[in-house]
Each structure stands twice: as structure tokens, then as C-alpha cells.
Amino acid sequence: MEEGLARAVLWGCLLVVLGALAAIVGHVLVQGLPGIDVDFLTTAPRASGREGGILTTIVATLYLVAGALAIAGPVGIACAIYLAEYLREGSLERIARFGVQTLAGVPSIIFGLFGFTAFVLWLGLGWSILSGSLTLAAMILPTLVKAAEEAIRAVPDSYRQGSLALGATKGQTILRVVLPVAMPGILSGVILSIGRVIGETAAVLLTAGSALGFAVSPLDSGRTMAVHLYLLAMEGISVPKAYSTSAVLILLVVGLNALATRITSRFTVRR
């Protein structure tokens, strides 16, 4: 009796969760998909986004993703390697780990405030792709480090021992043996981070600005898709375009998730 009731309640929970997902995604896709065509994706917005497409916002989003990854990628992977391969437990390890973990819990708006004072004003970079990239790099750093460290730790010790026994140095072993094996795990961390960059609004608005033109140099300001959506919806510029922009964002996230799943599953199979 209790058993049956418990199961019914648990299935109910799942249905509510999936129902919420279906309601939100369904609502947005139904309203937004009809407005998406090749033109929408390949023309620049006109009249503040009331007409035209979202090409410039796609460009700005890609630019920001590339910038944030270029900055946070090497640093984050270096951090993960050091944490996993060099550091023994101790106060230094605790400090490094405390930094990364605390950073993971900091709200994005705080990153925005920080980026605004530090990069936009103090360094004088202005509202720009560069300011935005630096800010977002700080934001995705914990995600990258965590994924990369886990992937590196998952590499069996026998690989390292084999390499070292053949006379390779520790550095060579890491670069030629450990990293290639850990790469799929690192990549799925990268994809997760891309998702966060694409979806972030508050921090981007405060640091990369909201200019609608084509961003060419890293010092140009740019409006990402998420910021564009926020302005379209909140300024009430064009609700249909807002729906279409959200639909594009959701499709992008679905694509990224599928990619991450494929990479991870391949990784698991190979192990």
C-alpha cells in the first residue's frame, strides 16, 4: 500500500518536472519557430530589432564565446593539471580549491559588477567584447577547472607509469599521454561553459554593452543573443522577434547538449 503510493508520488514528480520543461520549451518553440528562416539568421537587425534578423547578435555571441574560452581555457586547464598532477594535499591545495569552489557559487551579477569596475572603467576597455570576454572567462573558470580535473583524475595511473617507465619526463607524460586521454572530458566541460556564456545576460549587459552593430575589433561593443532577447522582451520592441530569438537560443542549447552527451558517451565507451 505504502509502496504503491510512494511510487505513484515519485512518478508524479517526474511528470511535473517534464511537464514544466515541455510547457516552457513548447510555448517558446510554438511561438518562435514560425519566425525563423534563413533570412532571420543571415540579416542584421533593423529598426532596433523590430525588423530584420539577428545576424549581428549571433556574431557577437560567437565572438564572446571564443574570447572567453581563449582566456579561460588555457588558464583553467593549467589549474586543473596542477591540482590533479602536482599538488599534494596541504594548505596550498586548500587555498587553490577554495578559490575555484567559491567562484563557482558567486552570482553572475557580481561578476558583472566586478567586470564593470575592473575592465570597463579601471582598465579603460569600455563596453567591449574584450571586457565581456574577461568577465565571462572569470565566470566559467570554475566549470572548466572542475570538468578538466575530473577528466584528468579519471586517467588510469598505469598510463602515467608506462610513459614514465619509457623515460618520458613528467611534463611530456602530461602533454602527450594524460591530456589526450582526458580530452573528451575536458571538451564536455568546454561545451558546458559555452552554454553558460550563451545564456548569460546580466554580466554581459554590464560589460560588453548592447550595441547592435557588427563587432569587428575586440574593443567594439556587441549585443549577444541573450541580451538582444532581454531588450526585445523588456523594452517591448517586438514580441514575435523575442520568441524567435529564444527559440534559436533553445535550439542552440539542445545542439550543444547533444554534442556533450555524444562526446561523454564515447569517452565512457573507450574506457
Choose between 11 and 166: whose C-beta lies nearer to another protein.
Answer: 11
Q: How far is the CB of 266 from another protein (least distance, A)?
A: 16
Task: Report the relative pairing of strands 45-46 and 51-52 from DSSP bridges.
Answer: antiparallel
Closer to another protein by CB, 46 or 156: give it.
46
Query: Is the separation of the CB atoms in 130 and 115 below 8 Å?
Result: no
As measured in angstroms, the least distance from the Cβ of 40 to another protein is: 17
Rg (CA), the chain: 22
C-alpha torsion angle, residues 46, 52, 57, 58 (rounded to 10):
-160
HSE-CB at 132 with a 13 A cutoff on CA atoms is 34
CA distance linking residue 27 with residue 55, whole number of Å: 24
The Cα–Cα gap between 184 and 132 comes to 27
- CB of 151: closest distance to another protein in angstroms? 16
Would you state the cell numbers that stand for residue 229, as one nine-digit string? 532577447
Least spacing, CB of residue 244 vs another protein, in Å: 12
Q: In the complex with another protein, which residue's Cβ is closer, 113 or 183?
A: 113
Facing residues of 6 across strands?
none
Residue number with CB closer to another protein (41 or 110)? 110
Nearest-approach distance from CB 82 to another protein, in angstroms: 4
Cα-Cα end-to-end distance for the chain: 43
Tell me which DSSP letter residue 88 carries.
Answer: P
